[in-house]
Each structure stands twice: as structure tokens, then as C-alpha cells.
Structure 1
């Protein structure tokens, strides 16, 4: 390792240690000073004497990860390289051409150009293959390598050679990078007559403006009698954006969230007059609704201002702050907890999860009762419990496997190639039986590494029976395995409805972008239908927000 790397590594640790000692000097924290000196010495010794060359950046990252590993899942070290991704996550903006990409064979192809992005304006479409970038052959490039070459400072240009999906011709284009803003509100429309629907996907910088524009457009288009706010899958983001969004629905000066930490606490109140102070609202949540999205849903519930529908939310009620560490590296650390108007904290009692998006079972003794503004009972223990609980819908592993392996998109490419002039209506498009039979034939020579849960269970039972020397049971299990049909062709029929939905979404996406896919699924979404039914029934809506307690667990 060169001397500069060693000095950079040790200097960073020493500076951090000195800063900490200065900060906590009044506490006479001998233990902190001792551990910082040991850390610096250890990094120096490893850098100088370890048998193999040591990368100082990796050494520092490993030490940093170790320091935060016993805290919570959200406190982490962000290197200079990782900060660009963090900025995109918080601002929703980056310099590039505005398209998702994916690997297909030896090349990377365009997977989803965003509407009105440089890629879209250049006429690039899903399935177009990237052959070269600035004259460099792109065969064998990974998606990361392609992404790195396409991103850059807004206003700069690069040349890209593509093979068109439709027609197969080769074209060389000059693309100008722009500041790409990923919209926080990908869709706003009508779920039913008089019932507006807004899907809000994240709380990045400026999402309040997106939400306000969506509401204003709906009010111009028709008589808005109720509004569905969809926060399913919204992982949160900037707290201040959540407060501003709440200001559209509750009186000015309403306390909607407070933060409490070791050093300070802060109260956040709405600062403007509401534009929809009395409009009936339904808020959709699920196990992946988190953070700022939970603040909006929970505050509206606590203030008896909306009916919350779906499944218990994720349970992330922690405030993260970034602190500079030098050399353009940062520490993202938890500094406080969120508390919504009833006084409850939405943070899950247990940081771990039984499965993604679900809170572990919370003992009754750890759940506390709170009251909404109107006196309804609500509870803490993790996340927001909906007023109207609905069972989640899951896709089969087989259908998900087809999607992850790219078979759905590959068939979409083929569908477009054979029907280049077909017109698709986002709301009414439906795959025909003949179309699906074409997909089945398309899959005839494809290998799908899928094993049903039933076959897995039978295999485990067979092995257990053999180990326990229960020969008769083993024979019966073998007979059951012989009767089980979970081959690809059988599964294509068993899970037909789910697969059809995925194919339809892929084809609609190619004609109408992401907004078209959302619109396509509105009519068949059970939670949206339930929300519409409640908003269309003033008596039921009033009963829920005035007298219905949420379930305890």
C-alpha cells in the first residue's frame, strides 16, 4: 500500500477521534479516547504489516460497518462513491438520459425510458439494444458499466449506437444528458366518478409540488367528492415534505409530528391554510409503507381525517441525519424518533422482521393504547394499523421467477415485433387466449428453475422418513411425488391469471409508460375498490372516522 493511502486511512480515523474527543470532552470520556487511539493504531498496523496489500478504503469501510453493526439497520457509513446514490434517493434527481436498463444476453437493452426524458425524446424504446457508447463496443458490458457511461453532468453529450427492436436497424444517436427528476407522483387520475386517485411513490425533494399539482388538475377536471391516496410501497424520505402534504388536508397550525432524541426535540406544525379541509380521504398502506409515508397516514388517522385501508405498515419511526466525516464521506445516523399526534411512536418495537415488510409479533404487554383526536383507540407496537384491514395479495413464486428471469419482457419484445402497429388502450387492454397460447409456445424450450412448496415439503418429509427408517412412509411420499404435477407447462396453466397480468402490464408499459400501467390496474385492485366503496358511502365513512377503534394487533 502506498504511503498516501495509509495516511489517508489513519488521518480520517484520527480526525474523527479528535472531533469526538472535543465534542465529548466535558464528559471526561476516557473510554472514548482510549478506543479511538486503539482504532487508529490497529488500522496503521494492518496497513503496514498485513501479509497482503491492504486497500485503505475497504479497511475503513469494514471498520465503519463494524462500528454501526450493533446499533440499528439505518445507521451506516457512506463513502464518497455511495453519496451519489444517496443524493438520488433523497432528491430524486440525477444527470443522465432517464431510462432503466437491463442485461439481455451479451448486451444491455433499454428497459423503461421515462416519459419526456432525453432517451424518450430521442425515440429510444423498450428493447432497443445498446451496441456501443462513444465508439466503444458495449458487448459484455454490465448494467453498472453502461449506467456509469450514460450518467454525467447535465448539458454534456455522448454518442450511442443502438439496434432497434422494431426493424433491427442500427442507429447512432447523440444524447444530451439532462437533470432527470424522478416524479414523486407517477400517476393521478380517477378511480371512479367523483373519486380521485393519486399514487405517491416517495418523499423526495419537491414531491409536495407534484402532489399539489395533481390535486389542482383533478379539481379542474371534475367534481372531486373523495380522494384515494396510495402510499403502498412508499419507503418515505424527507420529513418536511410530509408536513407540507399534510397541510393540504388539516387546519393551519396543527401539530402533525414531533421528534425526540438525546439532545433535542422538535415539533412540526402545518404552516398554510388547507386546500381540501373537509374532503373525504382514504389512505392505502401495506407492509412496505414506511417513514414519512407512515407519518402522513398516521397523522391523518390520529386526526380522524382519513380512513386507512390495507395492512399494518412497516414501522420505521426513526430520524436519520447525515454528518460529514471528511474526504467527502458521511455518516448517516439515527438521531431521534417520530411521534404522531396521538403521542404514539410508529417505530417497531423490534428492528428485525419475520419477513420483508412485516413486523414480528409484538407481546401484548409491550403494546400501549392511545386515542385519536375524537377518542378512537389506536395502538403502538410497530407501524400504523389500518382502520380497514385487508389480506395482502401475493404473486406466486413461479410467476415471479418468470419475471426475474426476463421471460415476460422477452415475450413483450416478441409481441411488439410481430404487432408493430397495434394500438393499446391502457384501461381496456386484455391479452387474448390466442396471445397466451403464443406465450406458452414461447416458453416450450425454456428452463425455469422452480420447485413448488409442495414438492419441497414432500422432499423434506421423504428425507426425514428415510433418516427415521420409516420405509412405508417413504414409499407413500414417493407415490405422492409421482402424482404431483408442477412442471413448467402445468404451472403456466395453474398460475395463468398472474402471468397474464404481468404480460399485460409489460405491453401497456411499452405504449403508455408507468402511468399507463397504474391506470390499467385501477379497476381490478381490491383495496382501491374498497376505498371507493367507503368514500361513496358518507354514513360508513363517518362511522369509521368517528367511532371505529383499530385492532390492537
Structure 2
């Protein structure tokens, strides 16, 4: 064992002994230890501040220490300094003072990527694809997207001007707006995916989420919906009470939705539905994926536990921890985990180990021996230990390297902007499709663009070559490696054709958003979204639907 590893091991054992001692020590002893360590921290910082070779930024250094301390607990216990309080309020309430424009940095440029319907940005001429270069005469080209967003936000009824570069215009144009109170909708879209199936997309759990879902389902029923798809994919969660309100749309009054248990008894609580439902019989499909977390998992887990609907998609994120906020000095706040939540069957969906996840953030494989079995109302077996397992898993084809490259480098976005300014109108979003000629025009447009990408096979080949040289086999297999490399390069030349379906779907999504905003972006995927297609199939097969739910 190396000296370094021995030191780490000794330190670890020493830390464990201290923790055990603290756990079984009296309150007075614990308070002394807390006071002692705070004193050590304060004197240490004073010495560093006085003696360190460079100037020390107190705010930055202390925040780094606080963040590291909280990160050792769990990923969701966070320190919120005063400068970040406004962003935190926006996340909690879905409201902010602004113009209703969403921007992102693409290829080093700040561009408008979406407009919220009905607000100042849309009404006063801003367009998706515009490159923002100035806000109130401040050049923002070297600023981050976050800094740009802060400049755009402000008190309602205050003016703000944006100078933008627009496709087809030879010189910048300046647009004037009045900030207003912008409310980001929890339900950015609801509509009919077929003659009798309604679809509700839920992206947030801020205040009024339950009311928005309730209103959407009522309106869809008025339009003839006899079945409902509730989409909580990529919804990171939010207010727990709104998860209760949303399940209440489909469950009767008085049903337990979730209960929480923590170290302090005051954090133990049971949450039940409080109102009469919209419809407790209508067939229901809930769509989830690895980005569905927290409140989304409460909704999906509760619907599953009561056999109220089928869960379709991929395993959810696995966040079963409850946070509350506590005020700190100087207008800062602490968001701290106080309890775990449990679905009606008694299972906690918190990942057993939240420190290790797959690249997409999803829960890794967990051995069955580490899971516990629970049963739904109809006696179906469900498991804990990391996320909600769907009743029907839909395998998702990963995005091809070429499609990912075209998307991340902004070529799909830029071509959609070009297409929009060259076509005054298009078909409605559900029926819009690129023709063969239009797709070929896109391919031709790419001819002088650098969209180079490396496939996983090429990475493996490069690794094999490196290892072959290291282990002295390279000369023996050099010719074969060269043949494989040539074959791969020839094959990549066809990728724009071989992966046309993926690339065209991304293009159609982006193009329809230019004409129909969020609505267009959603509706354009109805005929290509495997989860939605599977939900429609099951909802249209009553016997199979009832069989999955264990109904007799």
C-alpha cells in the first residue's frame, strides 16, 4: 500500500471514529464540537486571507467551502446566495419579470431559441433565430447566457431594448420592449393526438400546476377525449403539493398520494387528495423517462400503485428526497433535504446510490437482491431502489453521432431559421414533412460546413491502435487497421442518408417551432415519438390495457 493510500485509509478510519463518537455523544458535547470546528474554520480563513500569495475573494472561497460541505451530503442540499435568490424564486413559482424570450449560446452566439406565446417578445417582433448582440446598448457577445438573461430580466413595466442580427438583414435592428410579469406555464401544450385521445404535456411543478392539468383534461374531454396521455418526460419535478393535486385529477378525494419520513417527526407527513376528481375512470397513460424526477415520480408511482393507469417509457430518475428552504443571514437561503418520500404502496424510489449514475443521469442497474417488493392495489409487484419502472418499456434508439453533431453545432437550428425566412407558411405542425427535395437542399447546404464527428467505433479503433503500438502488435495488424479505417470513412459518407429519419425529425421539429412556437414543436413529433405511438396502441386496446393493470 502506498504512503498516500495509507494516509487516506488512516484519515477515513479517523473520520469514522469521530462520527461514531459524535453520534453517541451528549448534546452538549456535540455543540462543543460544532463550536470548535467553526472556530477552526474561521481562524483558518483569516490566516489564508492574510498570508496567501494572491488576493482572496471571500465570497468565492467561502461559497466553494460551503458547496463542498453540502455536496458530501447529497446532490440536492444547496446553498443559495443572495445573488441567486431571484433565479430560485423563478424555479419555484414559474414567474419572472421579462419579455418572454428564451435564449441559448449556439456556436458562441446568443440566439433566441423560443418565444413564450402572448408576451412582449412575440408581440413586438422578436423572432426565433435572432442573434442578440446588445441589450440596452450593452454589448453582450462576450457575456454568458446567464449574464445575458439577467440583463433581459427586470421589474415589470420597465423598458428594455435588444439589438439583433436577423437572417436576411444586412445590418442590425433594434427592437424595444416593455418587461412584464411572465408566467411559465406548467402545461405548455395540450391537444388531441387522435379523434378520441387527449394529450397533456407537463413540464413543471410550480404553483397552479394541478389547476392547469385539471383545466386541460376538462377541455380535452369537451373536445371528445375518451382517453388521456399525461407526459412527464424530462420533467425534473418541483412542488410536492402540486404532484398531489395532479394525481387528484384522476383519483378520488381522500386517497393517500405520498408520505414523507425524516429524522425529525415534524417532517413526517401524509398527503391525500383533497378534491373531487375530473374523471377517475378514463383510461390513462403516463409517459416517463430518465429525466422524470421527484414530483414526476410521485405522480407516476401513485398512478401505478393504484393501478389507475399504465406507465410507459423508460425508468425514471430516482429522486425520492424532500427539500425545504431555510432563511440564512444576508438574504441567502439553504435548501436542505429533510425527508424521504414514499408512494402509497410503501416504496421509496430514491436511487440506492445517488453518487453514481449513467451518462444521461439515469439510475444504473441495481441487483434485485438489493430491492424490495411491494404490491399495487390489484396485486401487481412493483420494486423500490431507484426510480419508477414503467409497465411497458419502450427502447429508445440513441441519437446517431451525425445527428448529434448537426444539432449541437447549431446547423439544424440555423437551417430552420433559413427555411422560415424563405417559406412564408407551412402545413400545420401535425402534417408538416420535409419532401425529398427539401431534405436534399439541406444536404447541399451542409456541403461547405464543418460537421465532423467521431463515432464510437472510430474511438474504439483509435484505442485499439494505441494499445497495439504499446504492446508491439501494431506492425502485424497495421494493414488490417488501415482497411477498417477506410471502410468506416466510406460508410460515414452515407450517414446523411442512413440516418435521414433522425435528422429530418429534428429539422421538422425545429422548423415547426418557427411558425407555431411550443405547440408546433410538440405536435410535429406525434407521428415519430415511439412512446406516444405505444401509448395510443395500448389505449386503443382495452383488453390489453386491463390485462396490464391486473384488472379481472
The answer to whether the 8 A contact 1:107-1:138 is kept is no
**1:133 lines up with 2:107 in the alignment:** no
Equivalent in 507, 511, 536 of residue 507 of structure 1: 511
What corresponds to 1:350 in structure 2?
353
Equivalent in 184, 187, 201 of residue 185 of structure 1: 187
- What are the equivalent positions in structure 2 for 1:154-553 lying under 5 Å apart? 154-168=156-170, 171-222=173-224, 224-264=225-265, 265-351=268-354, 352-419=356-423, 421-470=424-473, 471-485=475-489, 489-546=493-550
Gaps of 5+ in 1: 1-23, 549-553
The answer to whether the 8 A contact 2:505-2:528 is kept is no
Deviates more, 1:293-302 or 1:188-197: 188-197
Tell me the secondary structure at the aligned position of residue 479 of structure 1: helix
Distance 1:461 1:366 in 2: 36
Question: TM-score, normalised to structure 1's length?
Answer: 0.90
Tell me the secondary structure at the aligned position of residue 130 of structure 1: strand
Distance 2:144 2:359 in 1: 30
Distance 2:135 2:310 in 1: 51
1:360-386: CA deviation from partner (whole Å, max 9, x where unpaired):
221222111111122211111111111
CA shift for structure 1 position 491: 2.6
Note closer, same or farther for the CA distance 1:450–1:546 as it changes in structure 2 (3 Å cut): same
Distance 2:373 2:142 in 1: 58
Gaps of 5+ in 2: 1-25
Distance 2:496 2:262 in 1: 53
The answer to whether the 8 A contact 2:125-2:175 is kept is no
1:275-320: CA deviation from partner (whole Å, max 9, x where unpaired):
2111111111111111000000000100111111111111100001
The answer to whether the 8 A contact 2:401-2:454 is kept is no
Distance 1:161 1:509 in 2: 22
What corresponds to 2:58 in structure 1?
56
Tell me the secondary structure at the aligned position of residue 355 of structure 1: coil
The answer to whether the 8 A contact 2:313-2:392 is kept is yes
Distance 2:531 2:109 in 1: 40
Note closer, same or farther for the CA distance 1:411–1:88 as it changes in structure 2 (3 Å cut): same
1:70-120: CA deviation from partner (whole Å, max 9, x where unpaired):
211111222112222222222111111111224467863322222112100
Distance 1:396 1:366 in 2: 34
The answer to whether the 8 A contact 1:286-1:313 is kept is yes
1:222-249: CA deviation from partner (whole Å, max 9, x where unpaired):
2x21111111111111100000111111
Note closer, same or farther for the CA distance 1:141–1:45 as it changes in structure 2 (3 Å cut): closer
Tell me the secondary structure at the aligned position of residue 109 of structure 1: strand
What corresponds to 2:69 in structure 1?
67
1:481-516: CA deviation from partner (whole Å, max 9, x where unpaired):
122226874332232221111111111000000111
The answer to whether the 8 A contact 1:424-1:511 is kept is no
Tell me the secondary structure at the aligned position of residue 276 of structure 1: coil
Distance 2:463 2:141 in 1: 43
Distance 2:65 2:163 in 1: 43
Deviates more, 1:353-362 or 1:326-335: 353-362
Distance 1:136 1:332 in 2: 34
What corresponds to 2:46 in structure 1?
44
CA shift for structure 1 position 475: 2.6
Note closer, same or farther for the CA distance 1:492–1:151 as it changes in structure 2 (3 Å cut): same
